[in-house]
Structure 1
Amino acid sequence: MSRAIVFAYHNVGVRCLSVLLAHGVDVVRVVTHQDSPNETIWFDSVAELAARHGIAVITPDDPNDPAVVAELAALQPDFLFSFYYRLMLKVPLLALPRQGAWNMHGSLLPKYRGRVPVNWAIIRGERETGATLHRMLEKPDAGDIVAQQAVPILPDDTAIEVFNKVTLAAEMALDRALPDLLAGRAKAKPQDLAAGSYFGGRKAEDGRIDWTRPAAEVHNLIRAVAPPYPGAYSDTPKGRLKVLRSLHPTGETGPHGGRPTLFSRDGRLYAECGDGRLLRLLAVELDALPLAPSTAGDQINATFGTPALSLS
């Protein structure tokens, strides 16, 4: 029976750890994170799954601490797996397992190496993403690929909807590749890093909407940071306008000549963006209170003294 140390967090961590257990892997230690009180925890718990199976769990602040490395080395693992673990693992850890260290990344590598790949793929208007199981190197997301699974991104999919697809893709890729990996006969292919790109992390402030951009770009930002992520927003004289959901623009042009404007028509709420195209807004808050599309014209008029709000 193969022995594995698993670094894992989030839904991908839960599902991929479940795959290892289903294949009879002896998971001798789980390394995960303590949930942050400053973060909305909408995802499943790796620690709870490990506890159900009697697997010892540690949550070090620094997994590369020599004492942690020594503790894990004493377990003599055959494999090390990383499934959405948030901290970088350095060479002393990666060198521990006899049959390699393997990471599950939430994109079709070499595209979208780095942080929050699902969100970046949506922001950039991709119609496809997926999950990739690859060998871990000190350089992030750069090792040879052993399995990939693609999933579609539909035009109105939000980040959580795509993330759920990527979670399933990760489970499928690992389940398919694991027998050969455990038997030592998996064939890995090198990445062409020049064909991909690396992206950094994102902050809540990065959700600020530039309404002068084309409607399609604004729509992609809105759905990429929609709840449970912090949401896309812009500031107005009467408070913060937060847009939680929109519909992919059809190409219809607005009545304001390309001047960014929020207005209501026929009981529906629209934003005219910088390219003159209309974006229908389905869920909006103004100063943390819902702005109902059916009554948005009255609400805007009551709040701003005008039936339309300039967004520029």
Structure 2
Amino acid sequence: MTRAVVFAYHNVGVRSLKVLLAHGVRIELVVTHEDNPDENIWFGSVAQLCRDYDIPFITPTDPNVPDVEARIAALAPDFVFSFYYRHMLKAPILAAPSRGAFNLHGSLLPKYRGRVPVNWAVIHGETETGVSLHVMNIKPDNGAIVDQFAVPILPDDTAHDVFDKVAVAGELCLNRALPQLIAGTATLTPQDLSQGGYFGGRKMEDGRIDWQQSALQLHNLVRAVTHPYPGAFSDTPRGRLTLWRTRRIDNAPSCPDTAASVLWAASDKLWLRCADGGLLRILAADLDGTPLTSGALNAPLEF
């Protein structure tokens, strides 16, 4: 029987663990995270899955410590897998499995190596992303690729929409590749790292709107950081404006006569003209903590 130690979190972790179980892999131990009470937990629980399936699990603050490393080494697994686990694994853990350590990453490597790849892909207006199952080594996301599975990013998809697709793509990719890994027949393709870049994590402040951006750039930011993320925002004399949903349009009624970027109400709708002259319809927004409607915006806001 194939035996594995799995580092997992999030929806991708839940789905991927179920794939391993479906293929008869004996999961000796799962390492996951304690949920952060300050984080919006909108995703599935790996810990609960482990309880449901009677799989031993631990939630160390740092997995790269002697007692965790020794426990994994003593289990002598065939494989170590990482499915959306948030910490890098160091050499002692990567050396523990006899048949290799593999990670499922949420992009088409070598593009978008590093943190929050789905959000970055949406911000940059990509029309496609996906998942990559690859060899883990001590450098992030640069090991040889076992398999990839692509998904489209539609023009109005939010990061949440895309992540839902990526979670399913991860399941499909792992389900397709796992038999070859178990049989020892998988093909490993080295990455050409010159064809992609590394991206870091994002903070709430990274959602602050730069009013010199084009309508397309702003639309991409909004859909990349909308719910369940903190949103695209700007501080105004009337309070903080947060844009949650936008749609690119070609024409808008009664545009104010100003050279600035401007938000205004007309025909019972909200409209925004950006620095490049491009237009957005505002489908959902808050102002000073209250949902913004066309009736509540009694004068245009200039930026």
TM range (shorter): over 0.9
Q: Which amino acid aligns with 2:265?
A: S
Q: CA deviation at 1:6?
A: 0.3
Segments of structure 1 that go 5 or more residues without pairing to the other structure are: 302-306
Q: Which amino acid aligns with 1:120?
A: W
Of 290, 296, 299, which residue of structure 1 is paired with 2:296?
Answer: 299
Do the aligned residues in 2 keep the contact of 1:246 with 1:282 (CA within 8 Å)? yes
User: Counterpart of 1:250?
Assistant: 249
CA deviation map 1:38-86 (0-9, x unaligned): 1010000001001111110100111000111001111110000000000
User: Counterpart of 2:272?
Assistant: 271
CA deviation map 1:139-160 (0-9, x unaligned): 1000000110000000000010
Q: CA deviation at 1:258?
A: 4.4
Q: Distance in 2 between matches of 1:256 and 1:128?
A: 38
Do the aligned residues in 2 keep the contact of 1:257 with 1:276 (CA within 8 Å)? no
Do the aligned residues in 1 keep the contact of 2:15 with 2:171 (CA within 8 Å)? yes
CA deviation map 1:118-142 (0-9, x unaligned): 0000000000000000000101000
Identity among equivalent positions (%) equals 60
CA deviation map 1:251-276 (0-9, x unaligned): 44755454110101211111111001
Q: Distance in 1 between matches of 2:257 and 2:144?
A: 52
Q: Which TM-score applies when normalising by structure 2?
A: 0.97
Cα gap change, 1:42 to 1:145, in 2 (>3 Å): same
Moved more, 171-180 or 229-238: 229-238
| Count of residues in Structure 1 that have an aligned counterpart in Structure 2 | 301
User: Counterpart of 2:11?
Assistant: 11
Alignment of 1:131-280 (within 5 A): 131-247=131-247, 249-252=248-251, 255-256=256-257, 258-280=259-281
Specify the SS of the correspondent of 1:16. Answer: helix
Segments of structure 2 that go 5 or more residues without pairing to the other structure are: none
Cα gap change, 1:183 to 1:200, in 2 (>3 Å): same
Specify the SS of the correspondent of 2:75. Answer: coil
Q: Distance in 2 between matches of 1:29 and 1:258?
A: 61
User: Counterpart of 1:304?
Assistant: none
Q: Which amino acid aligns with 1:192?
A: D
Do the aligned residues in 2 keep the contact of 1:259 with 1:276 (CA within 8 Å)? no
Specify the SS of the correspondent of 1:299. Answer: coil
Q: Distance in 1 between matches of 2:266 and 2:190?
A: 54
Q: Distance in 2 between matches of 1:74 and 1:224?
A: 42
Q: Which TM-score applies when normalising by structure 1?
A: 0.95
Q: Distance in 1 between matches of 2:228 and 2:273?
A: 26
Specify the SS of the correspondent of 1:168. Answer: helix
Q: Distance in 2 between matches of 1:252 and 1:209?
A: 22
Do the aligned residues in 2 keep the contact of 1:108 with 1:148 (CA within 8 Å)? yes
Alignment of 1:80-119 (within 5 A): 80-119=80-119
